[in-house]
Structures are given as structure tokens and as C-alpha cells.
Amino acid sequence: MITKITDCAIFSDIPENELSKITPLFKERLFKKNHVLMFENDQSDEIYIIRSGMAKVCRIHEGREIVLGITMPGDIIGETEALSNDQHRISSIEAIENVSTWLISRNDFLNIVEKYPSVLRKAYMILAERTRVLNRLVRYLTFYDVRTKVANLLIDLFYNFGKPCDNGYKIDLKVNQSLLANMLGVTRESISKTLGDFQNEGLIDVHDKYFYLLEKDKLELICNETEETPSLRKWNSL
């Protein structure tokens, strides 16, 4: 959990002695798992900072969901629309576990931007990071076969949520097959078959929706032709 506003990258350059001036503008909000914080195309002006928990960024087309990313503690959502002339939400945000947030209104956020120009610079850096991640997602969806897509996503998850365990590495995030399928734009059946193949090959194991990478190096070999580096796999490198 983040405990200070400056733990959020966009506000990290605000001097500590100035925090007392902006902290009262933020209100704490709690959301249960599966709650939708915002719907794409809706008009609203709230900006959220994730304090604890995670949420998925997604879009729906003809009943199919594509997951564009996962927000983590310290991430800000809604600031792009706040800085735009169009307040229609560009995507939906749904909690994938219980989420604690700080909420701030658009007007208060814009006042902070005006007073602290570093916030605007950070906002553009965050937007550039998200564009980089989305460019990689487009490449996944367009050019890779299912086996390569799944291997790359597992390695991405490792670089964002992985930690050592007795027999390899644990991805410390509960992920079901439907979420993986929606992150890669493939069917759940394709995900199930590929994960089964990886288990049979001794590359991974799955317990209680946690993934364990037993042969990370071999998984990375499957990704060897995909021009990825560890630094590019981080979803938030700020």
C-alpha cells in the first residue's frame, strides 16, 4: 500500500513541505473486487490513485473484452481525460481484487497541475510509458502465435510480479485463464491448451491461480525472437 501522495509517480516531485496543501483535496474510496470504477465512453471527472489492490484496464467490443493493462499501487487513472477537452472515458477500469484509492476532482487536479508544473511533465511521461506498453500489446496481438504470446505474457508477469520460491519463481498475482485470454485476445480454450503444454513440459506449475515458473530460462527461449528486453517488460518503469 502507498501511504503518501508523493508515492504516486505523477506527484513525486512535489516538495514534502507542500504536501499539507494538497493532501486534503484527496478523499479515500474503497471498492470491492469486480466493482467497475469507470466505464468507457461515460462522462465523469474523477481521478483515482491506487493505494492498494489492482484493477484491469479494458475495453469491450461486441461482447468481447480486451485487457489493455493492470494498474498497481501508485498508479493514477483518469488523468488523461482530465487533461483533455473530452471527458469521455477512454476505457473501463474494473477491480480484480479489493481496491483502496484516493479520489480527486478534475478541477482540484488541474489546480495542482497549474501550481506544480512537474505534475504535467510526469503526466506526459506516464502517457509515453502507457503508449510503449500498448505498442507491445499490439505486437503481441498481431504477430505472435498463441504459444509465443502466452510465454511472453508469463515472462511479463514475472518481471512485474515475480519473486523467488523454492522451485523457481512465483508470480505473486492471482490470475485466471479468462483474464490471460482477454489480455492476449485469444480464446480461453487456447490458453488452457497452451498452459497444459507448458505444464507437461515442466516449464510451469499452477496452484490456486498462482503461476510458478519452474524453467524461466526455457520460457524465455520461446520468447527469444520477439525483441523484448527486461526493461521493456516493466509495465511501469517510472
Q: What is the pLDDT of residues 130-172, one digit of tens each?
A: 888 888 888 878 889 999 999 999 999 999 999 999 989 999 9
The three grid cell numbers given for residue 8, joined into one nine-digit string: 504516486
Nearest CA to 218 out of 192, 238, 190, 198 is that of 198
Residue 217: strand, helix, or coil: helix
| Pair 228, 152: CB distance under 8 Å | yes
Is residue 237 predicted with pLDDT exceeding 70?
no
Domain check: are 70 and 183 in the same one?
no
Domain check: are 135 and 182 in the same one?
no
Residue found by looking up cell 501511504 in the block: 3
Q: How far is CA 181 from CA 163, 165, 189, 195, 205, in A?
A: 23, 26, 9, 11, 18
Domain check: are 12 and 125 in the same one?
yes
The number of distinct structural domains making up the chain is 2
At 226 the pLDDT is 59
| Pair 92, 39: CB distance under 8 Å | yes
The arithmetic mean of pLDDT across residues 205-217, rounded, is 94
Domain check: are 17 and 133 in the same one?
yes
The three grid cell numbers given for residue 236, joined into one nine-digit string: 511501469
pTM of the complete model: 0.87
Q: Which domain holds residue 180?
A: 144-233
Domain check: are 16 and 132 in the same one?
yes
- Give strand ranges (E) for 32-167: 36-38, 46-52, 55-61, 64-71, 76-77, 92-95, 99-105, 162-165
Q: Name every residue whose Cβ is closer than 8 Å to that of residue 178 and which is 6 or more positions away in sequence.
A: 188
Last residue of a domain, one of 99, 118, 140: 140
Is residue 224 predicted with pLDDT exceeding 80?
no
How far is 36 from 5, CA to CA, in rounded Å?
23
Last residue of a domain, one of 117, 140, 163: 140
Domain check: are 135 and 18 in the same one?
yes
In a domain, 238, yes or no: no
